[in-house]
């Protein structure tokens, strides 16, 4: 039986980390900045749902613009930066060599953030593409594609140049998204923006891209972290590790087919949602295997493990809900409602982002060579994030259930649907405020920790000279 | 797993298969879809968007209307789309071949708009749509920046908004005029019409559909 030995890098800092410190901190820091920006947008958006007149007079800040901005800054700004940085760091650690091509990583990181910034300005100016999860204006996208490639080179080199030929599960999950994102992104760009396909085929391509962005990019980025951190944090081997490859390939081969569940009843060939229903059910095998491998996380442990535990819980819950709401009898009540939003938040925020927080808490001391500045801020962040997310997903789901039930009753007017969902949407707004506050604590903690490590490095150099 | 190239091949085929199946597969099915020529009416459907409406579609995209409104009617026995008067038949792929970008939408905070220009008993007039955009209604915000208030010099403009509610009464001597974007958007909204019954859009009873297949053979 293959066992997983966490001894590969038990030392807390290997020399590999000092060389890559700057680019990694650049990516992580800018990711956190976008996370805060996204939190502000999400809060504004929630307030707009509570009161339609909020900022309605501003042409840059319509509900549609803010919705696209919150989503774009979260996915491309926060998950893109932090997910890439952490997966490359993991690949470097497991590869056993110092990261190579770090100048490419820095340059790529700068241009990636420039691309996101151009996209944000473009969306506010009204240039969003209208495709969910691909709202970045056409002119911002090629830059993002190229700069992603520049950053990813480091990770790919760390993978091809690994000392140990056999790969760990964390390496599979970390390498895959490095390749997948450029493929998905370029195909979607060409087929939707540069040479658009005709008619509802656009919706099919968008659905395929959006699902790929989750199952082939965001989810593996997060799982790489979970598979890497857990055995190191609690010092135990992963149970049922010889099944892990099956879970990995199930996610890759089946996951990409589940996107059509958002098109149930829509003007597309009926086999697309049907295939998605089957795939969403088959994908439960992936969740089961990941649960078997990583169930140790629920025993608790350090703060990083608790974050990852919360994230994995959300991940499993999301997978089960995906399979349930893919069924046509359920979809008729959840489609086009806040339930969709609840599930997206559960996946991207509850699962991917919470796991990445955990990996970040584990990784930063090893990247910067200094412990976190404040344990209290970190604990505060966990409390706010956990409560905020539970509240957000629950209240959106409740609003969605009410909305779905009343939409299906033709006698209920839109005004009464709005009135009946209002209390839950207020709760969702409070949840967004908690999340923003939590992320603020993280940002303060990160900045002080990263600065102190930089200052100490400079002072050491000054002493040495 | 230790074979790098084989692993890479696995990655390529994972994306490639879903792409080939979903994107290429649908393209094979829908890619050659053309408009339908009705011999009786001597006209092709869907009729292309008139010039103003086509520009209005871009305003609809630019404002992000699709984040609250869908443009797809589901079949009569699925949800309350028909009962709410959004359309007597389901939307089919052919309805969208002239649109770009296709904005099916994924949230119904507001009503579906796929058939707004064919609402029964009568579709909303341009004045009503302007009033809705100017003052908002319920959960829909007011888009005041699509309008400007002018002092009336000489004769009042023919385009001035009819005061449909208290919020729309400008000071004496002033009038509210729609910007070009507002006019384009309203032209687009009025053009939304999926009422033509294509052969594939006619709801067929289950038993008869089986017989039709037999007959086609």
**Contact flag A131-B104 (C-beta cutoff 8 Å):** no
Give which of A179, A180, A177, A208 is closest to A192, Cα–Cα.
A208
Is B185 contained in some domain? yes
Instruction: Supply A131's token pair.
Output: 């495709």
Distance CA A380, CA B65 (A): 38
A150: which 2 tokens?
């520049």
Q: Widest CA span of chain A, in angstroms?
A: 80
Q: Kindly give the parts of chain A with pLDDT less than 70.
A: 1-17, 453-465
Q: Is the dihedral of CA A14, A19, A22, A24 positive or negative?
A: negative
Residue of chain B whose alpha carbon sits nearest to that of A160: B4
Task: Pick the closest to residue B110 from A424, A402, A415, A44 (CA basis).
Answer: A415
State residue A455's pLDDT score. Answer: 60
In sequence order, the β-bridge partners of residue B147 are B178
Whether residue B209 is contained in a domain is answered as no
Q: Return d(Cα A60, Cα A83) in angstroms, integer.
A: 29
| ipTM over 0.85 threshold | yes
In this predicted structure, what is the pLDDT of residue B160?
A: 86
Among chain B residues, the shortest Cα distance to A50 is held by B139
A10 vs B15, residue with greater confidence: B15
What is the count of residue pairs from A and B with beta carbons less than 8 Å apart? 211
In the three-class reduction of DSSP (H, G, I as helix; E, B as strand; rest coil), residue B149 is classed as: strand
Question: How large is the greatest C-alpha to C-alpha distance in chain B, in angstroms?
Answer: 84
Q: How far is it, in rounded angstroms, from Cα A317 to Cα A435? A: 20
Cα(A178)–Cα(A84) distance, integer angstroms: 8
Nearest residue of A to residue B10, measured between CA atoms: A249
B37/A10 Cα distance (integer angstroms):
72
- Position B27 in a domain: no
In this structure, is residue B30 part of a structural domain? no
The pair of structure tokens assigned to A298 is 């629920």
Q: Distances from the Cα of A157 to the Cαs of A27, A151, B173, in angstroms? A: 18, 11, 72
Residues 33-52 of chain A whose Cβ lies under 8 A from any Cβ of chain B: 48-49, 52
Query: Are the beta carbons of A393 and A345 closer than 8 angstroms?
Result: yes
- Residue A322, preceding peptide bond in cis (omega within 30° of 0): no
Q: How far apart are CA A30 and CA B73, in angstroms?
A: 42
CA dist., res. A124 & res. B135, Å (int): 22
Please tell me which of the candidates A65, A175, A414 has its beta carbon nearest to residue B138.
Answer: A414
Contact (Cβ atoms closer than 8 angstroms) between residue A139 and residue A122: yes
Q: Which two tokens stand for residue B208?
A: 């008869």
Tell me if chain A has a CB within 8 Å of the CB of B195. no
Q: Is residue B81 part of a domain?
A: yes
* Cβ contact, residue pair B139, A414, below 8 Å: yes
pLDDT of residue A8: 40
C-alpha gyration radius of chain B: 23
Core vs surface per residue A279-313: b (16+ CB within 10 A) or e: bbbbbbebbbbbbebbebbeeebebbbbbbbbbbb
Which of these, A30, A213, A205, lies nearest to A113 by C-alpha position? A30
Residue A199 has its nearest CB partner, among B8, B68, B97, at B97
**Residue B151: strand pairing partners:** B174
**Any domain includes B68:** yes
Looking at the complex, does the CB of residue B2 fall below 8 Å from at least one CB of chain A?
yes
Q: Which chain B residue has the Cα nearest residue A252? A: B14
- Residue A159 CA to residue A3 CA, distance in Å, equals 21
Residue B121 belongs to domain spanning: 36-202
Looking at residue B161, its pLDDT comes to 85
Distances (CA, A) of B46 to B96, B125, B195: 8, 22, 10
**Beta-carbon separation of B64 and A216 below 8 A:** no
Q: How deeply is B7 buried, as exposed, middle or buried, from its count of CB atoms within 10 A (0-12, 13-18, 19+)? A: middle
Q: Cα dihedral sign for B58, B60, B64, B66?
A: negative
Helices (H), A161-302: 169-189, 201-212, 219-234, 244-255, 271-282, 284-294
Q: How far is B173 from chain A (nearest CA, A)?
A: 23
Q: How far is A333 from chain B (nearest CA, A)?
A: 8
**Distance separating alpha carbons of residues B63 and B82, to the nearest angstrom:** 27
- Please identify among residues 157-186 of chain B the ones whose CB lies closer than 8 Å to any CB of chain A: none
Smallest CA-to-CA distance from A244 within A289, A281, A202 is with A289
Helix (H, G, I), strand (E, B) or coil at B151: strand
Q: Within the 52-111 window of chain B, which residues sit less than 8 Å (CB to CB) from chain A? A: 61-68, 70, 72, 74-75, 78-80, 83-84, 90-97, 99-111
- What global pTM score does this model have? 0.93
Which strand (E) or helix (H) includes residue B6? Answer: helix B4-18
* CA end-to-end distance (rounded Å), chain B: 51
Q: Is the pLDDT of residue B89 over 50?
A: yes
Specify if B178 maps to a domain: yes
Strands B43-45, B36-38: parallel, antiparallel or unpaired by DSSP?
antiparallel
Distance from CA of A353 to the nearest CA of B (A): 23
Contact status, residue A256 vs residue A306, Cβ threshold 8 Å: no
Could you tell me the two tokens for A169? Answer: 């599960």
Per the domain annotation, does B45 fall within a domain?
yes
Please indicate whether residue B204 or residue A224 has the higher confidence score (pLDDT).
Answer: A224
Chain B residue numbers with beta carbons less than 8 Å from the beta carbon of A216 are 14-15
**From CA A45, how far away is CA B67, in angstroms rounded?**
11
CATH number, domain of B177, equals: 1.10.760.10
How far does the CA of residue B152 sit from the closest CA of chain A (Å)? Answer: 23
Cβ-defined contact of A267 to B66 (cutoff 8 Å): no
Which of A72, A137, A266 would best serve as a mutation to test chain B binding (most B beta carbons within 10 A)? A266
Q: A154 is written with which tokens?
A: 């480091």
More confident residue, B37 or B210: B37
d(CA B14, nearest CA chain A) in Å: 5
H or E stretch covering B177: strand B174-178
Asked if residue A414 lies in contact with residue B111, where contact means CB atoms within 8 angstroms, the answer is yes
Nearest to A287 by CA among A256, A322, A260, A257: A322
H/E run at residue A433 = helix A414-464
Is residue B156 over pLDDT 90?
no
Total structural domains within chain B? 1
**Could you read off the pLDDT of B90-131 as tens digits, one per residue?**
999 999 998 889 999 999 999 999 999 999 889 999 999 999
Asked whether A56 and A65 are in contact (CB, 8 A), the reply is no
Does B10 sit within 8 Å of A184, measured CB to CB? no
């Amino acid at each position: 039986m293959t066992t997983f030995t966490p001894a590969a890098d038990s030392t807390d800092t290997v020399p590999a980390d000092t060389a890559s410190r700057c680019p990694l901190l650049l990516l992580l820091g800018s990711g956190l900045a976008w996370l805060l920006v996204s939190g502000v947008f999400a809060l504004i958006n929630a307030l707009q749902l509570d009161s339609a007149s909020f900022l309605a007079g501003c042409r840059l800040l319509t509900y549609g613009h803010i919705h696209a901005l919150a989503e774009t800054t979260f996915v491309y700004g926060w998950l893109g930066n932090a997910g890439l940085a952490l997966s490359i760091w993991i690949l470097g650690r497991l590869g056993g060599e110092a990261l190579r091509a770090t100048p490419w990583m820095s340059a790529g990181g700068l241009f990636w953030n420039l691309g996101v910034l151009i996209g944000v300005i473009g969306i506010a100016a009204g240039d969003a593409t209208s495709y969910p999860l691909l709202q970045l204006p056409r002119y911002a996208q090629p830059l993002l594609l190229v700069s992603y490639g520049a950053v990813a080179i480091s990770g790919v080199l760390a993978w091809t140049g690994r000392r140990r030929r056999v790969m760990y599960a964390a390496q599979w999950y970390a390498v895959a998204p490095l390749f997948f994102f450029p493929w998905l992104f370029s195909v979607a760009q060409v087929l939707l923006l540069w040479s658009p396909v005709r008619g509802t085929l656009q919706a099919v391509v968008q659905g395929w891209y959006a699902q790929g962005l989750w199952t082939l990019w965001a989810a593996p980025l997060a799982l790489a972290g979970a598979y890497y951190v857990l055995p190191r944090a609690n010092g135990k081997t992963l149970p049922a590790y010889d099944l892990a490859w099956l879970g990995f390939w199930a996610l890759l081969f089946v996951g990409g087919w589940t996107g059509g569940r958002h098109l149930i009843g829509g003007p597309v060939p009926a086999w697309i949602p049907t295939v998605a229903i089957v795939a969403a059910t088959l994908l439960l095998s992936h969740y089961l295997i990941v649960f078997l491998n990583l169930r140790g996380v629920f025993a608790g442990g350090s703060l990083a493990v608790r974050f990852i535990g919360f994230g994995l819980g959300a991940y499993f819950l999301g997978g089960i809900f995906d399979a349930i709401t893919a069924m046509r009898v359920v979809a008729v009540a959840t489609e086009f409602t806040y339930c969709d939003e609840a599930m997206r938040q559960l996946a991207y925020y509850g699962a991917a982002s919470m796991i990445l927080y955990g990996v970040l808490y584990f990784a930063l001391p090893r990247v910067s060579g200094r412990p976190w500045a404040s344990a209290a801020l970190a604990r505060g962040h966990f409390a706010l994030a956990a409560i905020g997310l539970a509240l957000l997903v629950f209240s959106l789901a409740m609003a969605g259930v009410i909305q779905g039930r009343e939409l299906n009753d033709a006698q209920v007017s839109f005004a009464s649907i709005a009135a009946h969902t209002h209390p839950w949407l207020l709760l969702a707004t409070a949840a967004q405020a908690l999340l923003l506050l939590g992320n603020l604590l993280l940002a303060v903690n990160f900045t002080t920790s990263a600065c102190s490590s930089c200052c100490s490095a400079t002072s050491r150099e000054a002493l040495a000279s | 797993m230790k074979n790098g190239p084989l692993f890479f091949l696995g990655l390529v085929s994972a994306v490639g298969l879903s792409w080939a199946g979903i994107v290429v597969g649908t393209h094979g099915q829908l890619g050659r879809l053309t408009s339908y020529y009705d011999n009786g009416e001597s006209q092709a459907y869907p009729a292309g968007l008139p010039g103003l409406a086509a520009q209005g579609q871009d305003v609809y995209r630019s404002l992000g209307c699709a984040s609250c409104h869908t443009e797809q009617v589901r079949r009569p026995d699925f949800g309350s789309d028909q009962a709410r008067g959004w359309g007597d038949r389901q939307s089919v792929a052919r309805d969208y071949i002239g649109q770009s970008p296709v904005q099916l939408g994924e949230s119904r905070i507001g009503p579906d708009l796929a058939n707004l220009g064919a609402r029964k008993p009568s579709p909303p007039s341009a004045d009503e749509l302007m009033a809705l955009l100017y003052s908002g209604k319920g959960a829909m915000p007011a888009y005041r920046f699509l309008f400007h208030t002018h002092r009336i010099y000489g004769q009042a403009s023919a385009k001035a908004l009819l005061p449909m509610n208290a919020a729309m009464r400008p000071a004496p001597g002033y009038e509210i005029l729609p910007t070009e974007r507002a006019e384009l958007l309203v032209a687009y909204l009025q053009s939304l019409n999926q009422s033509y019954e294509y052969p594939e859009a006619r709801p067929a009873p289950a038993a008869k559909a089986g017989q039709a297949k037999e007959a086609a053979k």
